[in-house]
Structure 1
Amino acid sequence: MSAIFAACATSQPAQLPPPPPSPPEVAVPRATPTPAVVGMASWYGPGFHGRKTSAGSYYNQEDLTAASIEFPLGSRVMVTNLDNGRSVEVTITDRGPFKKGRKIDLSHKAARVIGMLDQGTAHVRISLISKPRGTREVGAPLRYVVQAGSFSEQQNAEQLRSKLAAYYPDVHIDQLDADHRHYYRVRMGAFATRSAAEARASDSARFGFPAVIITE
């Protein structure tokens, strides 16, 4: 009996298996905050109605559009009047505002929707909803593109792109939806400085195309 007890006393306890390795930490994606700009808004109407915008479309003061340099052309933004809480969704189709210290110029209709026609200006928050692919981020340094033409027919834009692409490697077509229509813009760049864009516009003028420098 003592021999059995001694054998039990000297036996080694069973080894437990090592704990499994901890699973690797998985980064939980965080929602990207919607870029927003807060500042003064104004509106523009009769004096510009029917004129060509920077995007190549024709300005209609009764469309829900706006002019701003804070967002790329073609961006969809929500503009909220911070004085009364009323909001409107607009498309950036033009460059502006034309007075310093303001962040956006709304169309006549957009200004009416958020109740700022009588005052002429309002303190607003402008939140980005979407922007065209490949355009700069909100808050990034401005870029300059040379626009050689804007067409309602894609085939015409492709013909011009092919001609210019034989001489320049950065020719491309951007599509803009505005005024319930599609516009196909033949562009070169973007360029980091206006002087570089001007040099390209000057060089491409030999082909007879009315190049325009667009700030984005």
Structure 2
Amino acid sequence: MKNTALTILAGLGLATMAQAGSDYSPQPIPVAPAPSCLWTWFAGGSYGQIDGDDWDEDIYTLHIGIERKCADNPCGSHAFFLEVGYTEKDETFDIVFVPDPPVAVFVNEHDFEARIVPITLNYKYECSLAGNLNWYVGAGVGVALVDLDISGQNVDGSWDDTVFYGHIFAGLTYNVSESFEIYGGARYIFMDDPDVAGYDEALSLDEDVHYELGARFNF
């Protein structure tokens, strides 16, 4: 009787172990899903041309910023960047000088050198157009540093001023790779007149158009 009971208990134990073993299977280690939206840094620059009544010169820009992209949203790109530009005008002009009393009229040649440095904080919204081609729009506000040097017989001096500067812009970008893109577009400029030796309007880019081509690296 005792042997029979031990045999029954042993059989039940073996059956339980076999049942438990048949139900067990290794479980995969859970992996957190990749985030759909990421913040990435970028830097770049552009070469452009300003088209205006008083200022028709080259302009160069450099920028650095951060961009938020969402993989599941073709229109999920929002970028914020700091940009610095540079444009200059260097020319020679004549100043007519009439003494008092007007015994004669003198025409003297003068050198005119002006520099404008826009510094702006910008926002850019970008959306997929087709394949690697995207469109973008944006705006920026900041200041422009204006410097003027005039050298000649009747006028010789330097002046500078800091004024409000802003722009709205739009264009196209092409993603050459995940880390490199090229872009082209246009900006419409808003700028206050600087107070520099009476050349206020001549040294303002207000209502001028800035055309540009550039490149950007994404990190």
Shared fold by TM > 0.5? no
Give the TM-score, by structure 1 length: 0.28
Task: Give 1 or 2: higher helix fraction.
Answer: 1
In our comparison, the structure showing a higher alpha carbon Rg is 2
Task: Give 1 or 2: higher strand fraction.
Answer: 2
